[in-house]
Amino acid sequence: MEKHKEKIKCPECGKRQFAEVLHTLPWWSYIHNCVSCRYTIMESEWMIVKTKKKVKEPLKAGIAVEPVLYAVLKLLTLVEVNDVKGLTHKVKITGAEGYIPVFKTLKEAEEATCNGKYKITLVSG
Ligand SMILES: [Zn+2]
């Protein structure tokens, strides 16, 4: 599971601390127990402590902030390309062992998972 850390302030005791944000689907999970008073801080109370990078307000979801793409974790070695006549060719890629397909929408990605056989992960666009 992808995750990242954010520095937040506890709404109960004011303690500044790092909290992990899990990159769950379809939205990231903002939940953290205060290290000082054990208060459970939820997304609506997520107060980011400003560091060098300015964050205007609690991130609703990563999706709203930056474009997110959906990668299907299956390794492909052949790429379909269309030539000028519109004919489709399967070409073996070179320079890498393979590639993973990335889609703009979750729906497209789900169709590519072969009924859930492959996992979907978020990548920033
Ligand atoms: Zn606290």
> How does residue 65 score in pLDDT terms, banded at 50, 70 and 90?
low
Q: Beta strands 78-82 and 29-33: pairing type?
A: unpaired
- Cβ-contact 1, 29 below 8 angstroms: no
93's tokens: 């890629």
Ligand 1 centroid to Cα of residue 45, in Å, is: 12
Work out the angle at residue 106's Cα, subtended by the Cα atoms of residues 75 and 58, and round it to the nearest 5 degrees.
115
Give the separation between CA 3 and CA 5, rounded to whole angstroms.
Answer: 7
User: If you average pLDDT over residues 94-101, what whole number do you get?
Assistant: 83
Ligand 1 centroid to Cα of residue 65, in Å, is: 27
Ligand 1 centroid to Cα of residue 23, in Å, is: 23
Asked whether the predicted pLDDT for residue 25 surpasses 80, the reply is yes
Asked whether the predicted pLDDT for residue 40 surpasses 90, the reply is yes
Which bin fits 106, alpha (ψ -120 to 50), beta or left (φ > 0)? alpha
Ligand 1 centroid to Cα of residue 17, in Å, is: 9
Give the residue with greater pLDDT, 5 vs 65.
5
Strand partners, 91: 79
Asked whether the predicted pLDDT for residue 52 surpasses 70, the reply is no
Asked whether the predicted pLDDT for residue 56 surpasses 70, the reply is no
Give the residue with greater pLDDT, 62 vs 7.
7
Ligand 1 centroid to Cα of residue 59, in Å, is: 20
User: If you average pLDDT over residues 91-102, what whole number do you get?
Assistant: 83
Between the alpha carbon of residue 18 and those of residues 57, 63, 118, the distances in Å are 17, 22, 32
Q: What is the pLDDT of residue 78?
A: 84
Cα-Cα end-to-end distance for the chain? 18
Ligand 1 centroid to Cα of residue 92, in Å, is: 55
User: If you average pLDDT over residues 22-36, what whole number do you get?
Assistant: 96
